[in-house]
């Protein structure tokens, strides 16, 4: 079965798991209702944002380098 366009969206958004989907340029294109509830984010604020703008490094943690370090595990997870 070929799912294209927004055909997946209602099924994905209804999933009980906490997930976001990003495009190849790391723009957030979808998020589950469960994720939005758990993070108290609004879909309109999240969709279209670059993933590392939406989830920046913790400014209170001087060792945080997920955004600055393109070889980090965070970047690898985002590209999967």
pLDDT tens-digit readout, 32-66: 999 999 999 999 999 999 988 888 777 788 887 76
Distance CA 52, CA 26 (A): 8
Q: Residue 61's pLDDT is what?
A: 82
Residue with tokens 């969709």: 47
Q: Is the pLDDT of residue 68 over 50?
A: yes
Rounded Cα distance between 37 and 54, Å, is: 16
- pLDDT, residue 16, reads 95
pLDDT of residue 53: 86
What pLDDT score was predicted for residue 74?
Answer: 47
In eight-state DSSP terms, residue 8 is: T
Q: What is the pLDDT of residue 57?
A: 76
């Amino acid at each position: 079965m070929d799912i294209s366009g927004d055909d997946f969206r209602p099924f994905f958004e209804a999933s009980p798991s906490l997930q976001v989907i990003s495009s190849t340029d790391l723009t957030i294109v979808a998020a589950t209702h469960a994720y939005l509830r758990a993070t108290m984010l609004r879909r309109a604020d999240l969709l279209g944002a670059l993933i590392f703008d939406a989830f920046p490094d913790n400014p209170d943690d001087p060792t945080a380098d997920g955004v600055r370090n393109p070889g980090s595990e965070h970047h690898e997870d985002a590209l999967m």
